[in-house]
């Protein structure tokens, strides 16, 4: 039997088509799973951001707690442990007053004005940022102003930032 027989050539062609099809299908499946996981992580960030901002605003407005109160940092640490995100609360000028970090490394640092403006303009959007070198690496960051409505006027008393490093995202994706 010759190696150039029509049956051998058809078999090799069919096997290559099947191999290429499975390789493309596997690549597309991996890309789709990655995008779906990223989308779910972003939705979780935005949900945590909104609920935390609502709590901080109500405690600040109705209980009179200052944003620099240690109880906020303790509560943020608990939320961070449950959600897997890092949280920062700043005053209206961008100075970090409370954080979820157990050693309070971010306290006293200042978030740049451009990030504060982005929090008002694109509240709840998730972008890559270092928050003006508060973090040494690029992180996924969601931000929103902490607002209170008094007699129809909306006041900004501070800002809330939620972030997650890409390593924790990749670990969750695996």
Give the pLDDT of residue 25. 93
Residue 127 has pLDDT above 70, yes or no: yes
146 three-class SS: strand
Task: State mean pLDDT over 80-87.
Answer: 85
User: What is the per-residue pLDDT for 78?
Assistant: 86
- With a pLDDT cut of 90, the percent of the chain lying above it is 14
Q: What is the pLDDT of residue 2?
A: 55
Could you tell me the domains of the chain? 29-173 (3.30.450.20)
Distance CA 143, CA 72 (A): 17
Q: Is 143 helix (H, G, I), strand (E, B) or coil?
A: strand
CA Rg, the chain, in Å?
24
Least confident among 8-22, 63-77, 85-99, 141-155: 63-77
> Does residue 156 carry a pLDDT above 60?
yes
Q: Residue 78 and residue 65: Cα distance in Å, rounded?
A: 18
Mean pLDDT of 10-27: 94
Counting Cα atoms < 13 Å in the Cβ hemisphere of 138 gives 5
For range 5-29, the mean pLDDT: 92
Alpha-helical regions (H) of the chain: 6-62, 70-83, 113-121, 166-173
Check residue 147 and give its pLDDT.
83
* Higher pLDDT pick, 168 / 17: 17
Grouping H, G, I as helix, E, B as strand and the rest as coil, residue 53 is helix
Answer whether residue 133 shows pLDDT above 70.
yes
The C-alpha atoms of residue 129 and residue 136 are separated, in whole angstroms, by 10
Give the pLDDT band of residue 3 (cuts 50, 70, 90): low
């Amino acid at each position: 039997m010759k190696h150039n027989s029509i049956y051998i050539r058809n078999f090799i062609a069919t096997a290559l088509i099947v191999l290429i099809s499975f390789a493309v299908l596997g690549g597309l499946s991996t890309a789709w799973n990655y995008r779906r996981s990223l989308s779910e992580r972003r939705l979780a960030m935005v949900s945590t951001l909104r609920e935390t901002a609502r709590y901080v605003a109500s405690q600040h407005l109705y209980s009179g707690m200052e944003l620099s109160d240690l109880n906020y940092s303790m509560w943020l640490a608990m939320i961070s442990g449950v959600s897997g995100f890092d949280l920062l609360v700043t005053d209206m000028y961008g100075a970090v007053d409370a954080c979820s970090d157990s050693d309070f490394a971010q306290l006293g640092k200042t978030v740049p004005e451009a990030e504060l403006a982005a929090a008002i303009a694109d509240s709840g959007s998730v972008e890559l940022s270092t928050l003006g070198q508060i973090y040494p690496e690029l992180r996924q960051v969601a931000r929103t102003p902490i607002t209170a409505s008094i007699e129809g006027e909306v006041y900004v008393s501070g800002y809330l930032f939620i972030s997650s490093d890409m390593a924790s995202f990749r670990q969750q994706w695996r």
